[in-house]
Structures are given as structure tokens and as C-alpha cells.
Amino acid sequence: MTLIKFCGTRSEEDYKAALRSKADFIGFIFADSKRRVTATQVKAWKTSNTPGSKKLIGVFVNESPEVIKKTAQQAGIDGIQLHGSETPEDVKNLKKETSLTIFKTIHHSSKALEQMKLFEGMVDGYIIDTKTPEGWGGTGTSFDWEAVPAYSKEAEEQNVFCLIAGGITPDNIKDLLAFKPHGIDVSSGIESDERNDERKMMIMSEAAKKSYQAPDALGRYGSFGGKYVPETLMYALEELEEAYKSIKEDEQFHNDLWKELSEYSGRPTAVTYAERLTEHFGGARIYLKREDLNHTGAHKINNALGQALLAKKMGKNQIVAETGAGQHGVASATVAARFGLSCKVFMGAEDMKRQELNVFRMRLLGAEVIEVTSGGRTLKDATNEAIRHWVANVEDTFYLIGSVVGPHPYPMIVRDFQSVIGSESRRQLLERTGKLPDEVVACVGGGSNAIGMFHPFLEDEEVKLTGVEAAGKGVDTSLHAATLSKGRKGVLHGSLSYLLQDEDGNITEPYSISAGLDYPGIGPEHAHLHETKRVNYVPATDSEAMAALETLCQLEGILPAVETAHALAHVEKTAPKMNKDEIILVCLSGRGDKDVHTIQNVLEENE
């Protein structure tokens, strides 16, 4: 994975932002520069904000060994970067006198490779930077990155790494990464108005740390995903993929989306410390990511807003959607009203009964709710009908899919729009607790809240990720929706994933108390994360979910959706076994107002 050094830290704010970022090294300039800082400043920032596993590096230019040693000791840094014309003799002497990590900067030139050889065995790493008449470093000027592989090779032969510096920005970082550098070192490229800009740091971090790359060009996550659709839909999917590619790079689109997410839906959503729940279990500290506080009461609106804006951009004025629990139907009807689009929602007859209130809400919002009476009359059947309608009306209709399922590019698009959940939580927890959570938990039906929560944590290997499936009456009965625990590979709704099916490959009817988890398949990326073991998928039964729902209501005054209660059921099992200094983050994907009838019936039956 690409190493990151963010340099030029010149205030406590800059330092805190660097701590929150994915940087491996944080640099401070102790040389002549507009970014120069003192050892006393660095020591004070470090005392009030511990750097954890990040290494603090002081940058010096042709400084005396005495000043270097004194400054390093006063500031309490881990390493020094010699950024001038220091000789191998200087480095050897410093190495003898300190136990600090030493990086040597070599300025790019036709002699640079020869110079590296002179320092062999003396340094812990190299920085290759551009020197200009204006300065030794921090100049914002890049060199010809065709030379990067040769520098990496020389460093590898010396068993050390080599960071590339000079003029790296959010706009050109991908060009540099194509040369596979060991790491990057950036100053000017993360600055706005003389201070470090956290948004730029995030863009750089995300690009550099992305070792997890999925889907591939064919829309596959490992062996899962793809596009298993009739010829008539191929053109529509290609058109969608092209449109999505163009908005992905379009800053205006992202600004428009963020405006809707913040001003209309109320993002960022809060992270709530569940103090009484934590005390009740006596183990890990429990934090709830409050997607229930979104407009319309669940995470579904994140994706609906994104896809509706995309539909408008593509000139489509009709939206078709499927819904199970009704949350995605409500979110689709809502965005259609907001953007002046017409909206048809297909819903299984069984789900319409269970979610009467949401049917009324969708109609009130101006959507046409179409009852589906085929098959088991639930989400799978509603999805079949929605796809059928789309095939027949593909010219002017946009299929606004509600989960990370369906043919490529849908699972990728929905994941990207939902990843706001995980990236916000990651930042919020780091700000609040100074560390990442030890475990992140989310319920999984099709899997959109879970993938949105997990995706920004996939590179954080120390964070355990747990998806909770609906085990209904128990995974050893025929009444469950535990696709990964009990399913096999197969194709449904245009993609290859795990499915509940009989010996002949017929899809079997899933069952769960919660309409939103009642789906016989699961998003292909979850199937991949299950096979690669990056995410652990566990089941929770109806009764475990209902018990967890009551506990949260009574201890925290929050009524979660029945779907969400499955994630809480896992927390009941795992939190008591964890230490008090550990943290569990739970995606509270939606609120339970829509489920009050179901809850009332279950509780009355149990009386």
C-alpha cells in the first residue's frame, strides 16, 4: 500500500487534521520556509494530541548536527529528513549519535541514482524531490515521473523505501500512482489559503491507500457481480455507466449532491454514544451512526438523492423503483417530488400489508404504488416487475435501484452514494475518540447500509467488520433470509452472488420479520467480502432482533427499524465480551416508526 507523508504542518489544526488522515508520516519544517515551525510548538501539539502509530518527521536543510539533535529531542519527533546537500559523512555521524529514523532527500537529476548509491546502508528511506531556484523543497513543482520506477528499484535493492515528492496534487496524484511509487510526500498540494485543507488530504489519502479495487472493468467483485441481462438492457447499462463515470469526476455534481444531502436530508448525521447501553453490557463502548435521523428516516435517501440527480443529468424524467420495507419506495417518491420527476414504485402485496403506512406515504408524495402479486409477493417479485417495466420503457425511464444489487454498474453506484455513511463515521469517531472503532456492525439484506458503512474501513485492517443477516425463525429451519450462511452461488436480477435456492437451483422464498431483509440474494460485493473473509457475516433471529429493539428503546430512547435491530442483536452478543476501552460502531440504518404495527403484534403474541 502506498505510504503517505503530509508535510508542512504549521498549526495545531493542521496537525489534528493530519492525525485524522491516513498519513503514515507527518512532517514539520525546521528549515527556512514559510512553513517553518519551532520545536516548542511541535512539542505542545504532540502533548495534547498523541500521534498513535503515525511517525513525526522533522525536515532540516544543511543544519548542524547539534541543532538537529537538540530540535529533535525538544520536539519529541521520531525521525529526521535531511533535505539539503548533506554528505554521506554527515549522515553516518548523525546515525552514530542518534537512534532517530533518517530519511535523505535526493533532488531529481541525471545524477540522482548515483547519489542514492552513496548513502547505501546509512538511511531508512529516500525522498526524491524537485529543487528549483526558489527552494530546496515545498516548491509545488513536479519532476518527470517516468523516472519513478528506477528510483523505486534502487531503493528496493538497498532494502529501504523511496517517497516521491514535488508538486503532487489531488488532480495529478492518479498519474503518479500509475508509476507505483512506494509512497508520496506532499506539502503545497494539500494547502488552501496557507493552511492544510482536510478535503484535499482526504482525496489524496483515498487515492493513495486504495489497494482494494473493485469492481473490475467487467463489473466483477472477485468472481461475483457482472451483467447478466437481456440484450435490450445492455445499451441502457452502458449509457448509465458512461453517465456515472462523467459525474464521478464532476465537482459541480458533488457540490449539488452535498447541498441536497446537507440542506435537504440533514447530513452529516450524528454519531451518538450509547452510554446506558454500554453500561448495561459492561464491555465495549457503543456508538450509533444515526442514519435514522435522515429525512425520510433511513439511509435510503443518500442513494435516492444521488441517483435522482444522475437521472436528471441523463435527461430521464420517469423513475421506476422497487421496495420491500417501503423505505426505498418512500425515499424514491420523496426525491421524485423534490426534482419534479414521475415515479412508479413496485411493491409485493405481502409487503404492502406489512408496511401499510409507507404505502400511504408514497401515495401522498405523488408516487404510483403498483401491487405485485406474483411469486412470494415480496421484494424479489417487486424487483422482477420493476426490471420488466424498465426494459419496456428504457428510453425515458431511470431505474432507481435501492440496494447494492442488480447488474453492473448498480452495485458500484449505490455503494459509492452510500459510502458517505462510513466516511463520515470514520472521521467523526477519530475526532471524538482519537481512534478507529474495533468493530463495525451493520445489518445486511441486499446490503446497502452495510457496504456504505464498511467500504471506507476496508483498508483499516485492524477494524473488524461484521454484517448481520436475518436468521428468521433460525438458520436450521426453512424460515430465514440468511443468504451467506445458507445460500449457494447463482444469478438473480442480473448479477452473480449467493442466493437461497433448492437443489435444482430454484430460488426459495426468504423469510424474515423485517420486510427490508426479506430478500433471497445479497449484493455481489458482500459475496466477495465474505469469500475473502474481510467481513464476517453472522445470523440473528427474529426474536433476538426484537429483544435488542426493546433494549435500545428502553435504555436509549431510540426506536430502531426492525432491520437495524438485527445489527443490535449482534452487539448484545459481542459487546459484553469486549474490553471497556474497545469501541463498537453500529450503523443505526433506520427508525422504527414504520414498524410499530409489526412490533405491537409480536409483543402482544409474546404476552
Is 31 among the residues that bind ligand LARABZUK (CB under 6 A)? Answer: yes
Is 205 among the residues that bind ligand LARABZUK (CB under 6 A)? Answer: no
Cβ-contact 105, 81 below 8 angstroms = yes
Query: Closest CB to ligand LARABZUK belongs to which residue?
Result: 138
Nearer Cβ to ligand LARABZUK, position 166 or 560?
166
Identify the residue among 39, 59, 336, 443 touching ligand LARABZUK (CB under 6 A). Answer: 59
Q: Which of residues 213-252 bind ligand LARABZUK (CB under 6 A)?
A: none
* Look-up of cell digits 437461497: 500
461 burial class (0-12, 13-18, 19+ CB within 10 angstroms)?
exposed
Give start and end residues of each alpha helix (H) in 269-419.
Answer: 275-281, 300-313, 327-339, 349-354, 356-364, 379-392, 410-418
- 198-208 vs 12-20: helix crossing angle, rounded to 10: 30
Identify the residue among 125, 181, 183, 189 touching ligand LARABZUK (CB under 6 A). Answer: 189
Stretch that binds ligand LARABZUK, among 187-195, 244-252, 288-296, 471-479 (CB under 6 A): 187-195
State the minimum distance, in angstroms, from the CB of residue 202 to ligand LARABZUK. 17
Query: How many residues bind ligand LARABZUK, per CB under 6 A?
Result: 26
Is 181 among the residues that bind ligand LARABZUK (CB under 6 A)? Answer: no
Q: Which of residues 140-179 bind ligand LARABZUK (CB under 6 A)?
A: 140, 165-168
Identify the residue among 4, 8, 108, 290 touching ligand LARABZUK (CB under 6 A). Answer: 8
Stretch that binds ligand LARABZUK, among 27-35, 341-349, 365-373, 375-383 (CB under 6 A): 27-35
Nearer Cβ to ligand LARABZUK, position 57 or 465?
57
Q: Which of residues 121-140 bind ligand LARABZUK (CB under 6 A)?
A: 129, 135-140
Cβ-contact 78, 101 below 8 angstroms = yes
Nearer Cβ to ligand LARABZUK, position 35 or 300?
35
Is the link from the previous residue into 181 a cis peptide, with omega within 30 of 0?
no
State the minimum distance, in angstroms, from the CB of residue 326 to ligand LARABZUK. 50
Stretch that binds ligand LARABZUK, among 47-55, 183-191, 215-223, 322-330 (CB under 6 A): 183-191
Q: Report the b/e string of 520-555 with b at 16+ CB within 10 A.
A: bbbbbbbbbbbeeeebbbbbbbbbbbbbbbebbeeb
Is 29 among the residues that bind ligand LARABZUK (CB under 6 A)? Answer: yes
Cβ-contact 295, 375 below 8 angstroms = no
Identify the residue among 68, 186, 458, 549 touching ligand LARABZUK (CB under 6 A). Answer: 186
Identify the residue among 185, 260, 438, 542 touching ligand LARABZUK (CB under 6 A). Answer: 185
Task: Please give the positions annotated as active site.
Answer: 300, 322, 589
Nearer Cβ to ligand LARABZUK, position 200 or 408?
200
Nearer Cβ to ligand LARABZUK, position 103 or 457?
103
Joined grid coordinates for residue 345: 414504485
Joined grid coordinates for residue 572: 448484545
Is 7 among the residues that bind ligand LARABZUK (CB under 6 A)? Answer: yes
Is 438 among the residues that bind ligand LARABZUK (CB under 6 A)? Answer: no
User: How many C-alpha atoms does 253 have within 13 Å on its Cβ side?
Assistant: 19
Q: Which of 476, 469, 555, 550 is nearest to 512 (CA)?
A: 469
**How far is residue 435's CA from residue 421's CA, in Å, rounded to a whole number?**
17
DSSP lists the bridge partners of residue 492 as 495
Identify the residue among 9, 21, 33, 334 touching ligand LARABZUK (CB under 6 A). Answer: 33
**How far is residue 285's CA from residue 132's CA, in Å, rounded to a whole number?**
51
State the minimum distance, in angstroms, from the CB of residue 138 to ligand LARABZUK. 2
Q: Which of 490, 600, 444 is nearest to 453 (CA)?
A: 444
Nearer Cβ to ligand LARABZUK, position 140 or 268?
140
Cβ-contact 298, 594 below 8 angstroms = no
State the minimum distance, in angstroms, from the CB of residue 85 to ligand LARABZUK. 12
322 phi/psi in degrees, rounded to 5: -110, 155
Nearer Cβ to ligand LARABZUK, position 41 or 188?
188
Nearer Cβ to ligand LARABZUK, position 190 or 450?
190
DSSP for 205-234 reads HHHHT-----S-TTSEETTEE-----HHHH
State the minimum distance, in angstroms, from the CB of residue 125 to ligand LARABZUK. 12
Nearer Cβ to ligand LARABZUK, position 4 or 301?
4
Identify the residue among 37, 61, 229, 271 touching ligand LARABZUK (CB under 6 A). Answer: 61
Helix, strand, coil percentages, rounded to 5, for the chain: 45, 20, 35
State the minimum distance, in angstroms, from the CB of residue 117 to ligand LARABZUK. 22
H or E element, residue 240: helix 231-248
DSSP lists the bridge partners of residue 541 as 472
Dihedral of CA 593/594/597/599: which sign? Answer: negative
State the minimum distance, in angstroms, from the CB of residue 161 to ligand LARABZUK. 14
Q: Which of residues 479-498 bind ligand LARABZUK (CB under 6 A)?
A: none
Q: Which of residues 70-129 bind ligand LARABZUK (CB under 6 A)?
A: 83, 129
**How far is residue 176's CA from residue 164's CA, in Å, rounded to a whole number?**
9
Nearer Cβ to ligand LARABZUK, position 63 or 260?
63
Pairing of strands 397-399, 368-372: unpaired
**How far is residue 43's CA from residue 322's CA, in Å, rounded to a whole number?**
57
Joined grid coordinates for residue 225: 457481480
Is 420 among the residues that bind ligand LARABZUK (CB under 6 A)? Answer: no
Dihedral of CA 556/558/563/564: which sign? Answer: negative
Residues at the interface with ligand LARABZUK (CB under 6 A): 7-8, 27, 29, 31, 33, 35, 59, 61, 83, 129, 135-140, 165-168, 185-189
